[in-house]
A and B are shown apart, each in its own frame.
Chain A
Amino acid sequence: RKEVEQDPGPFNVPEGATVAFNCTYSNSASQSFFWYRQDCRKEPKLLMSVYSSGNEDGRFTAQLNRASQYISLLIRDSKLSDSATYLCVVNVHGGSSNTGKLIFGQGTTLQVKP
């Protein structure tokens, strides 16, 4: 089983739609969670961190469910410019301040159509 799993999609939605992605993680020691956005043939960029209480940034809402070990990303009022691949990233801390690792999911592709 992969440490971080995402549905690769693609998710094809019309402009204005609401779309949600989930990401599951297997390591219960995971401590920090993030969503990155990656445009075609470009580098990944941080979209938002995911906090325990859930957080919102404009049209984007991220949530964490520790009990079920998943995080989610909700995009409201989808725009054409939201078309991209969304990477789920999990930080597993090691036993000391200088250890740990970041695990990247393979990404979920979103295509927003006119």
Chain B
Amino acid sequence: NAGVTQTPKFQVLKTGQSMTLQCAQDMNHNSMYWYRQDPGMGLRLIYYSASEGTTDKGEVPNGYNVSRLNKREFSLRLESAAPSQTSVYFCASSDRGLFNSPLHFGNGTRLTVT
């Protein structure tokens, strides 16, 4: 049982490049989330998906897009990376309703944009 799997673990991009962060969970959870974590800021919600086929903006959605491909997978895309998007990105899922804990997090993706 892998839980929540994120890829890649590390990525360096140049300004303007695009990339997709992949996330998959094998716990049959309905709700999935993308957060970013920056020093002194706490985790901030980028996008979330209450269930397969639905996505909604979180607190800091600008510069990102998401796809809930199926119940298992929720990807995050940066169309044109900017240095302000340098951060640690966490995907999470939950099975007790939207925004109910516990959230199960993936290992994180460390992204640097130069």
Contact = CB atoms under 8 A, between A and B. Distances in A.
Chain A contact residues: helix, strand, loop or mixed? strand
B113 interface: no
Interface in B59-109: 59, 90, 97-103, 105-108
Contacts of A107: 42
B19 interface: no
B2 interface: no
Nearest to B58: A101
Given A8-B40, A44-B43, A101 B99 contact: yes
Query: How big is the B interface, by class?
Result: 20 to 34
A43 B106 contact: yes
Interface residues of A, number: 26
B107 A98 contact: no
A32 B101 contact: yes
A93 to B, nearest CB: 8
Interface string A53-92: 0000000000000000000000000000000000101010
Contacts of A49: 101
Contacts of A93: 99
Given A91-B99, A98-B98, A101-B99, A106 B105 contact: no
Interface of B: 35, 40-45, 50, 58-59, 90, 97-103, 105-108
